[in-house]
Amino acid sequence: MPEPEITPEVIEEHGITPEEYERILEVLGREPNLTELGIFSVMWSEHCSYKNTRALLKTFPTQSPKIIVAAGEENAGVIDMGDGLGVAFKLESHNHPSAVEPFQGAATGVGGIIRDIFTMGARPIANMDSLRFGSLDSPRVRQLFRGVVAGISHYGNCIGLPTVGGEVNFDPSYEGNPLVNVFSLGVLRHSQVARGAAKGVGNPVFYVGPATGRDGLAGAAFASQDLTEESAEQQRGAVQVGDPFMEKLCMEACLELLATGAVAGIQDMGAAGLTCSTCETAARGGTGIEIDLAKVPQRAPDMTPYEILLSESQERMLIIVHKGREDEVKRIFDKWDLPWAEVGEVTGDGMMVVKNHGEVIATVPAAKLADDAPLYHRDSKEPAYLEQTRALRLADIPALADPRAALAKLLSWPTIASKNWVYRQYDHMVRAGTVLSPGSDAAVIRVKADSYPALPADAPADHVPDKYLAMTVDCNGVHVYLDPYEGSKATVAEAARNLVCSGARPLGATDNLNFGNPHNPELFWQLKESVRGLAEACEAFGTPVTGGNVSLYNQNPVGAIDPTPTVGMVGLVEKTEHITSQWFKDDEDAIILLGQAVNSDDPLLGLGGSALLQTEHGRKEGTPPPCDLAKESALHDALLGLIATGAVKSAHDCAEGGLAVALAECCISQLTARNTPRLTGVTIDLEELDCPRTDALLFGESHGRVVITTSEAEAGAAIERAKLLGVSAVRIGTVTGGETLDIVIGETHFSWELNELHDVWWNTIARSMEQ
């Protein structure tokens, strides 16, 4: 059939502006055909080109002496962890697909991020996720939540990778537009880093993996537009269908092939599928590439070149092979029972040439397509809503009538409540490397010798020491909504604090910037300010950004989501004995608060944007607590120093819900070997802490605070050591081993039965999902 005429309507349907079309004409020197228009549509979409954010992303710190592969060079960054070993990790989103088809959207998000890791030559060893939904009172939200969790569980469990932690938050702003951000981490030797470049003119290009279908068609373009009911229905076919068993075969085969040295370049077919993998590898290699679509395995009849190029069918790889070593590729993929096809070769003319049965159907300069997408500097202005939210004064917040009831209410708030309903569906112990399971400040995994990809058959055996890695994902979207700069600084600080509380020194960070439509100046201002805060904090903590993802157009017809710059961070635990969990340990242990109890420079005393303000007063207002990066850094160094002395038995940071919630979680969050709760009572005396309001003292969310325990004998020395390092430290209580949490403030005494607190904290989400 003849291709349709390229009309302004067709151009608009492809999400290409008139100005961008003029640029395409300049690049090609002629009018594009429909297939070429589709190629530009996906490659110049925000999802693939970052055309609205590239200038901002360049402000991130991306270099350090430990960086092996920097952000933007490849599919994922790689950081040195000593002894010739590296860690690759990345955070990606699958938001719009999960809103349309929650199970497959989430499942294929997991598959895609895993491919990004083993494409680097690393063996994936652990996953995490960061999820956002509307209110659980909504049947539709419960359906989305159930489907997303099932999809993540299905893919991770089937492929045999532990999902070791994450976060789940609920807020009305995510109604209809959930966020599904998935993190994966893998390990490798320095010598095993693989590159995604089409090197070597004349080298053959192999397609590996299942046949191409019509699922996932133009998914990158779908992710680069506002999500509406109409667009969701139209783009249901843009959601891919995943097969974790096929991915497992593909991963093992690719890692085995990489060990042979036969691979000149490797790239997964993720967003924009075959189009992206071909033009990006050619652009990185400074070469060209030619493929014939008739050689591409196809599972649907009568597929057009347009469909084959833009399909995002899953579990597919593009491999550039050193000429003369084709038989090794065929042997390994036949061994793993994986489909393969030799579809083209590397050329030296810089062009991406696509043929179909020998007939040229697309000719585009590869580097222009991959690297020279339009770059926009969008208008920005401070959002009007901030005038109202900043107007909140401490006097406007009524005194808390019943702090005892407030704590139980906070612990049952889905954002704070235990996420066991989620993680009990994940196999977080597979591979037998999980040291700290979901439920503490950060996950910790043991990286054993068998975690690394195999060496070539003729390579001498090497001794690989055990390593211990901690990982976390964090973001307080409400704080970012109320102050994108301060809230984003605090997001990085909380991620680093969670690692430090687990005994790890942070190595590096990855981010997933989830925001609304960048054409709206107020929403773009949120993004600019957020990036400024993230960059400043990552610089302060020495945690370079190794890569990540930008997900824009996250909004429904009512409005945009709260700006959500999710941060994933990885740290290294130097010694096994430094691994620290959050729950209280032994009777008579001293409980110490590190950091200033309440930031007196904050006019709202930590109540701005707090969980208490939302649950008790129904207000998402105020200025969030400021984040002092110098004080945060001092706290991290002091805590790591204390952990290294062996004095610290537990450590837990104060975040949502403040000090009272942190104390309660330390009392109720431990599980015994039989998977039953171990409740540990404490007596707390806050008389020495200076604060004019009880609600701010108990539930304010000032940053830079950690609750630790030591033995009675070590308490005095620990406090003095912290003070010498410039960190406020005060003993606030004792572990009693009883059945209650008791807090005394002067003449006032509050007492909570731990079994009641545990019940609402542990069971709230499960009960909501039974509705």
Cβ neighbors of 456 (< 8 A, separation 6 or more) are 259, 260, 261
How does pLDDT run across 616-673, given as a tens digit for each residue? 999 999 999 999 999 999 999 999 999 999 999 999 999 999 999 999 999 999 988 7
How would residue 235 be classed by pLDDT, with cut points 50, 70 and 90? low
Please tell me the number of Cα atoms within 13 Å of 144 on its side-chain side.
26
Give me the pLDDT at residue 675, please. Answer: 77
Burial letters for 719-729: b for 16+ Cβ neighbours within 10 Å, e otherwise?
A: bebbeebebbb
According to DSSP, residue 627 is labeled -
Tokens representing 431? Answer: 């591979």
Helical spans, DSSP H, in 601-671: 611-617, 629-645, 658-668
DSSP 265-326: EEEE--TTHHHHHHHHHHHHHT-EEEEEGGGS-BSSTT--HHHHHH---SS-EEEEE-TT-H
**Residue 290 to residue 434: CA distance in whole angstroms:** 45
CA 74 to chain centre: 17
How would residue 228 be classed by pLDDT, with cut points 50, 70 and 90? low
Which of 14, 94, 96, 758 is flagged as catalytic?
Answer: 94
Cα–Cα distances in angstroms (integers) from residue 143 to residues 54, 101, 139, 223, 468, in the given order: 35, 10, 6, 21, 37
| 8 A C-beta contact, residue 41 and residue 54 | no
Asked whether the predicted pLDDT for residue 515 surpasses 60, the reply is yes
In whole numbers, what is the pLDDT of the chain averaged over residues?
A: 94
**For range 188-205, the mean pLDDT:** 96
How would residue 219 be classed by pLDDT, with cut points 50, 70 and 90? very low
Give phi and psi for 309, each to the nearest 5.
Answer: -70, -35
How does pLDDT run across 724-762, given as a tens digit for each residue? 999 999 999 999 999 999 999 999 999 999 999 999 999
| 8 A C-beta contact, residue 750 and residue 743 | yes
How would residue 226 be classed by pLDDT, with cut points 50, 70 and 90? low
| 8 A C-beta contact, residue 234 and residue 183 | no
Give me the pLDDT at residue 215, please. Answer: 79
The residue among 229 and 174 whose pLDDT is bigger is 174
Cβ neighbors of 32 (< 8 A, separation 6 or more) are 6, 24, 25, 40
How does pLDDT run across 574-613, given as a tens digit for each residue? 999 999 999 999 999 999 999 999 999 999 999 999 999 9
According to DSSP, residue 172 is labeled G
**For range 280-286, the mean pLDDT:** 95
Sign (positive or negative) of CA dihedral 444, 446, 450, 452: positive
Asked whether the predicted pLDDT for residue 4 surpasses 90, the reply is no
Asked whether the predicted pLDDT for residue 48 surpasses 60, the reply is yes
Give me the pLDDT at residue 220, please. Answer: 47
- Is 47 assigned a catalytic role? yes
**For range 339-355, the mean pLDDT:** 96
Reduced to 3 states (helix: H, G, I; strand: E, B; else coil), residue 59 is: coil
Asked whether the predicted pLDDT for residue 240 surpasses 80, the reply is no
Helical spans, DSSP H, in 402-471: 403-411, 420-423
pTM over 0.75: yes
9: exposed, middle or buried (C-beta count within 10 Å: 0-12, 13-18, 19+)?
A: exposed
Asked whether the predicted pLDDT for residue 17 surpasses 50, the reply is yes
Q: Tell me the β-bridge partners of 729.
A: 594
* Number of neighbours of residue 676 by Cβ within 10 angstroms: 9
Short-list 78, 265, 263, 261, CA closest to 187 = 78
How would residue 231 be classed by pLDDT, with cut points 50, 70 and 90? low
- Which DSSP helix (H) or strand (E) runs through 179? strand 179-189
Short-list 29, 32, 43, CA closest to 6 = 32
Cβ neighbors of 318 (< 8 A, separation 6 or more) are 205, 206, 207, 208, 266, 267, 268, 269, 274, 277, 278, 281
**Residue 79 to residue 73: CA distance in whole angstroms:** 13
